[in-house]
Structure 1
Amino acid sequence: MLSHEDNELLTRVEGPAPMGAYLREYWTPAVRSERLIADGAPVKVRLFGENFVAFRATDGNVGFLDEACPHRGASLALARNEDCALRCIYHGWKIDVSGTVVEVPSEPAERLEDMAQKISVRYFPSREAGGVVWVYLGLHDEPPPFPRFPFADVPAAHVRSLAAETHCNWLQAVEGTLDSSHVSILHQSWLGQSSGSLGETAEDSAPRYESDETGYGIRFAAIRHADADRMHVRVTEFVMPWTAYIPTGDEDRIAIIGTPIDDEHSRQWFIRWNDDHPLTEDTDTHFWYHDLTVAPDDFAALTRGKDNWGQDRALMSDGHFSGFNNLVLEDVAIQESQGSIVDRSREKLGTSDIAVVKTRRLLLNSVRSHTQDGEVFGQDDPLARPGSAGVAMTLEQTDDWRGAASTEARYV
């Protein structure tokens, strides 16, 4: 278990909180690219307890600004998006993608140049990859190198993104992706539908864990008994500070990212891609994703406001284990049920929690290093990234899973 002080250090991200300052130094997923249409409606985005607005200008460039107009604080989410800028509908102030005030029709024309030099809106660098707009919210004038995401190089038709706003702290979202033992239990009713090796996790609900620290985070192997001669190995790649590449059991790959909206809310990203083939409507009906695509910007809304997150007890009586009609929504319900910020000082941990414990330790050490000397884990080697995007393998008991995982690697 953690002390109360360490739990606060890990979870608090608003204002001057050390973890918030640390996480802002990484490129942060902010909004799905498809939501931003040239000259279309700006989109409100809340991150780290602050409010921003994202928009796509006439020329296709993305702007990411503070939401409040610098004049008198009206929301720029209400602004007109035209001529490569946002025009506040209150007094007509016009602000371009760089945050520069380019028109102030409520003031004499001769004041424009002087006001433009003295007044601006905070602008944040942005990039697009994996169907997502990423932003740098840190303090440095120059952002760090953009990560070498394995999904960044595939054609647009090969990648798809979904997001959910969950009513719990960001760390609960991250920890859920690293806990392999719950796959055999919480998700057991879905494992038989896997076309690949994911179904084999149902045979052993108490895996043993091995791990290796890497230049980008930690590689975890959950090793399960398959039979007298074989073992089933699920390798999850944790990339600091919030990304897990997990094995899906089929040929599609998936990255799950948990980012802070504020202290008590988080946004979870599911970025799915296929290196070799376009994603199709058939893959959208896969048991991982079915029904989620109807709410691609907040699929957690499908459970919001329902008693017990919409759990179906009749379904449970018919043999379904959890009573939720979607695998991913099982995770949403569990994470939110822990409370806005789970009190980790009251936990009773076991051997199945090793991945969670090691990740917490890495995050604690990293945020303290950043507070002391400004160091940001992994950014001294911007080329570092996982050799694979999660691997599930059935091996002989005498095989070396590390060597087998390296053989499966596609992203070195």
Structure 2
Amino acid sequence: MTSAQKASIQKAFKEEMDYDELLNCMRCGFCLPSCPTYIETGHQEKHSPRGRIALMKAVTDGVIEPDDEFAQSLDLCLGCRACEPVCPSGVKYGHLLEGARDILQRNKKQTIRVKMLRKGIFDELFPHQNRMEMATGLIGFYQRSGLSKVARKVGFMNLFPESMATMEKVLPEVPKRSVMKQRPHFFAHEGEKQATVAFFTGCLMDTMFFKTNNATIKLLRKAGCDVVIPENQLCCGALHGHNGELERAKTLAKQNIEAFEAADADYIITNAGGCSAFLIEYDHLLKDEPEWSERARQFVTKLKDISALLVELAFHKTHRLHLPEQTITYQDSCHLRNVMKTFNEPRILLKAIDGARYVEMEGANTCCGSAGDYNIVQPDMAMQILDHKMEKVETTRARTIVTANPGCLLEMKLGVERAHKTGAVRAVHIADLLVEALEEP
């Protein structure tokens, strides 16, 4: 990092960081036991929320330079925000982290290759759902054609890092693009009508996890909801916001707000914890834009996770849920728990399933290591966290691990594969399990 870059970063920190929020941290250390990277690095202060806030403040004050070590500390953060619920001062650590990463990203000198890669992902792929469908459709072809088996047999996957090679094995079956296109944009309720909901389908959720989205629609209908799927909705912007692309995230937020305003629904329903947490903070993202701030506030007041709405509508009391005898456990989506404050509702639903014995996992509220693209950009730390998570799973003796976020689901599937438990243990999204419990005779 050059002197000019450091000076530019320092200037931006002084002008843009929320200094009152930096001062809000009392250095009490309540966050330390909740921080995965602080624990996994052997209690290194620079890898704790308190330590990172101190570093941000020091850069803002001009006490230290924003060098590579500073950037590495921020990069190693999972962004799980487990520090926020335990903070007695209510420090919005996630907002500070996103702001700091945005400043670093804007002032970072990148190679042409990296620039092209970021542009391809953040500008040309995720904001365009039709391109997401095409990209995941290629994965579907790869799976259906038998190429996946050939690639593994000839050792092609050995060219990739171990975590990515293993992840390829646990990807869900992607449907044909024609199947995705055939789904209607409105579904009528079953039984007595309870509400009209607009379903945020997501980008990856509505392609790679299309089956889970269909399960979510089925649950909503059976709960008495008319389901509207706004046609013009886009990626939530979480990937952009967490990777220093806040302006692009704002653009996506505005388009989504417009799309869901047109639906005029009672609720906006999500089934992905990572998306939910970013959507619920659209009002913060757009707080400095008067023409959007109130519209964003109205948007977030309607937002609910599928599990929260099902419990509110007493779905578990009005529908029989049954599974063959098995032990199940639940892994929290960090963002669903720490930002959306939704953690009791999934457990209420799971405990209502006859035939299933629910066992709470120790540390279910701590990150599994997925954290968006974290397991790709920080594979060593991610796998270290995941392996420790699977040790906790082992103590529950669960046959089924349930979660509520696509990244967490893939990560837990990866953990099962790494622990050589394939066939004995499975990981499943809560919406898929509830539909399975409904259909089980």
Q: TM-score, normalised by structure 2?
A: 0.25
Higher relative contact order (CA 8 A, sep 6+): 1
Greater per-residue helix proportion? 2
Q: TM-score, normalised by structure 1?
A: 0.26
Greater per-residue strand proportion? 1
